[in-house]
Amino acid sequence: MCYMGPCRILGVRAAGKATIGVCGATADTIVARNLLRETIGGAASHTEHALEMAEALLDIAEGRLTSYTIKDAGKLIAVAKSLGVPTEGRSKEDMAKDVATIALNDIAKYDKEPMAFLKAYAPKSSYETWKKLDIIPSGAMLPIMNGMHRTSMGNDADPVNILLADLKLGLVDGYGGLTIATELSDIIFGTPKPVHSYANLGTIKEDYVNIAVHGHNPMLSEKILEVAERLEPRAREAGAKGINIVGVCCTGNELLMREGVSIAANEMQAESVIATGALEAMVVDFQCIWPILGQVASCYHTKLITTMPYVKIPGALHIEFSSEHADEIAEKIVGEAIAAYSNRDPARVNIPSEISEVFAGFSVEAIVGALSRLNPKDPLEPLITNIVNGNIYGVVGIVGCPNPKERKKLYTERLVKGLLKNNVMVIVTGCTAHITAQEGLMDPNKIDSFEIGAGLKAVLKAVGSASGLPSLPAVLHMGSCVDNSRIGVLLKALSEKLGVKVSDLPVVASAPELITEKAVAIGTWALDLGVSVHVAPALRIEGSKMVTEVLTKGLKDITGSVLIQEEDPDVAIETILGTIREKRLALKLNA
């Protein structure tokens, strides 16, 4: 990170090779610094997402933004209560103003007080651990700045101190990023409820004006959906049967979870959506939007439309989004798509027929709702009872994106199926949700086509049938990647109800096709919480024995979790099951 470098050293003595840099930095220091910068990249992404949601909520509350409303008053009240904001006899706007202001403060402040969202959403025992480690952030942006400073030349050289900063950034990500983004999105657009839809490229409709929304932010895509309905007549005038909105990546997940919009493709398949030849426009906001889309779109009639000032792609049409002019901008974008329809070359249309039914929308509120049909007074009881009796052996959250390095192994599918076979309940978010949806694992009607452990299957069917379904789907879709905060909420509820630490629960996280810095940040937050995290490919830490040891072993005595790096899905399944077994044994449950 300086112009004596780049530092390329071997951590161990070898003929003619340096063991330390010119400045004296060891492999441990170098690796820890690099890891911290990766985590910062992720935490910064999520925090800016959260900032945009908080600014929007404040603008709505203060009447500056009239094209959006507060759709979910119940969620607003719940969030307000957890933050200690008075709710009695207050208007939605007044409460929303307080909630948004607290969120904005959490992001920007630099005092010594813990972030309010962290205090409200942290599991109690985790909070105590973090306090002892002195890693609780007071605001989100300061540790981002400090992390870039401390990793610059001639600052922190102590790998343990740098790893503590990394753990702090995990908390920035979890509370300054994920939690604020998710909770505020729910307030504005509604908390997801169980919803039926479709997945895969077969959701592109030949006779329609097809618009794919891609990225992570629901602000624009929700508007496009709304406007598209209004502009249906114009699409019909242009010769189409209507307008078909499909989701890509996590913007897709946001719209699926709240509006039932079909999800056509994960981040890695975005090119394929264009290559159907039937896509009029791909509208992107931020994150995971590969620059190659510009080149691919140029081979077709498709308009690639960028909308964020800080996400531009050579070859794309840039129509800048601003929430104040959301309707107008969405109309312009949908208009561009309708206009492009006449340029479509029917000879080049080739839409794969693959399509899966999807049952999604499993916010914590939705899960509690489904469980309360079994036990209205104590909805978590059926879940706990079945974990205790072993019908549910454990719970694994599988998150992240497809990585071409792992995709060829079908890593995600193999991991998920291996766990289901062993009665492990699988919850998914992000592009992992796309992969499992495409595999049919979210179709309740297909529950018997997969080899699922008898205990787990019975639970899925029981909960499903109480809600009038043949079953819950084999895997539960909890949302986009920022929605990993929902898993945090669930863990808090379970650990506090049982009076055990999160690290005592038979729960593991996995990013089986790790690709983004965001996944590194989310995984760091999971490690903070005491949830062991499996990743493939391995993090770039193997140049440092010490960093590797701390994360894969030493952390167990600190937060109660470890990092599991495993490239082979079959071995990963065994290791994850072993971790769950250990937790069950410690809780004196049958293992």
Region 451-510 residues binding a second copy, contact defined as CB under 8 A: none
The interface with a second copy within residues 121-140 (CB under 8 A) comprises 139-140
Q: Where are the beta strands (DSSP E) in 51-140?
A: none
- Cβ–Cβ < 8 Å for 183, 189: no
| Residue 291 in contact with a second copy, rule: CB under 8 A | yes
Of the candidates 515, 547, 564, 577, which one interacts with a second copy according to CB under 8 A? 515
Query: Binding to a second copy by residue 313, rule CB under 8 A?
Result: yes
Among 37, 477, 486, 501, binds a second copy (CB under 8 A): 37
Asked whether position 16 contacts a second copy by CB under 8 A, the answer is no
Q: Is 589 in the site for a second copy (CB under 8 A)?
A: no
Tokens in use for 409?
């192994």
Is 134 within 8 Å of 112 (Cβ atoms)?
no
Residue 66: exposed, middle, or buried by beta-carbon count in 10 A (0-12, 13-18, 19+)? exposed
Q: Which of residues 41-100 bind a second copy (CB under 8 A)?
A: 41-42, 44-45, 47-48, 51, 55
Beta bridge partners of 318: 306
SS3 content of the chain, % helix, strand, coil (to 5): 55, 10, 35
Determine the Cα–Cα distance for residues 329 and 319; give it in Å rounded to an integer. Answer: 7
Stretch that binds a second copy, among 3-11, 84-92, 361-369, 454-462 (CB under 8 A): 3-11
288 in contact with a second copy (CB under 8 A): yes
Q: What's the closest the beta carbon of residue 283 comes to a second copy, in angstroms?
A: 15
Residue 292 binds a second copy, judged by CB under 8 A: yes
Strand 356-360 and strand 195-199: the pairing is: antiparallel
Candidates 78, 133, 142, 462: give the one binding a second copy (CB under 8 A). 142
104 lies in the site for a second copy, by CB under 8 A: yes
Number of residues lying near a second copy (CB under 8 A): 76
Rg (CA), the chain: 24
Q: Given the complex with a second copy, which of 161 and 350 has the nearer CB atom?
A: 161
State yes or no: residue 179 binds a second copy (CB under 8 A). no
Distance CA 318, CA 299 (A): 18
Residue 289 interacts with a second copy (CB under 8 A): yes or no: yes
Examine residue 317 and tell whether it contacts a second copy (CB under 8 A).
no
d(CA 251, CA 418): 29
Q: Is 447 in the site for a second copy (CB under 8 A)?
A: no
Q: Verify binding: residue 283, a second copy, rule CB under 8 A.
A: no
Candidates 236, 405, 446, 581; binder of a second copy (CB under 8 A) is 405
In whole angstroms, what separates CA 424 from the centre of its chain? 21
The answer to whether 549 contacts a second copy (rule: CB under 8 A) is no
Task: Tell me the window of 142-150, 363-371, 485-493, 557-565 that interacts with a second copy (CB under 8 A).
Answer: 142-150
448 and 415 Cβ atoms separated by less than 8 Å: no
Which residues between 232 and 271 bind a second copy (CB under 8 A)?
A: 267
Residue 394 in tokens: 């454990």
Minimum CB separation of residue 12 from a second copy in Å reads 17
Given a contact cutoff of 8 angstroms between Cβ atoms, the answer to whether 511 and 523 are in contact is yes
Q: Looking at 290, 381, 575, 581, which residue binds a second copy (CB under 8 A)?
A: 290
Using alpha carbons, list the distances in angstroms from residue 287 to 68, 238, 251, 481, 518.
Answer: 23, 32, 10, 11, 9
Pick the stretch among 20-28, 273-281, 485-493, 574-582 that binds a second copy (CB under 8 A).
Answer: 20-28
Least CB distance to a second copy at residue 324 (A): 12
Residue 139 or 444 having the CB closest to a second copy: 139
Cα–Cα distance measured from residue 203 to residue 358, given in angstroms and rounded to the nearest whole number: 12
Q: Which residues on neighbouring strands pair with residue 248, listed in sequence order? A: 214, 265
Binding to a second copy (CB under 8 A): which residues in 149-178?
149-158, 161, 165
Q: Which residues pair with 17 in a beta bridge?
A: 14
**24 binding a second copy? (CB under 8 A):** yes
Query: 108, 124, 307: which is closest to 221 by C-alpha?
Result: 307
Backbone phi and psi for residue 376, each to the nearest 5 degrees, phi listed first:
-60, -30
* Shortest separation between residue 225's beta carbon and a second copy, angstroms: 22
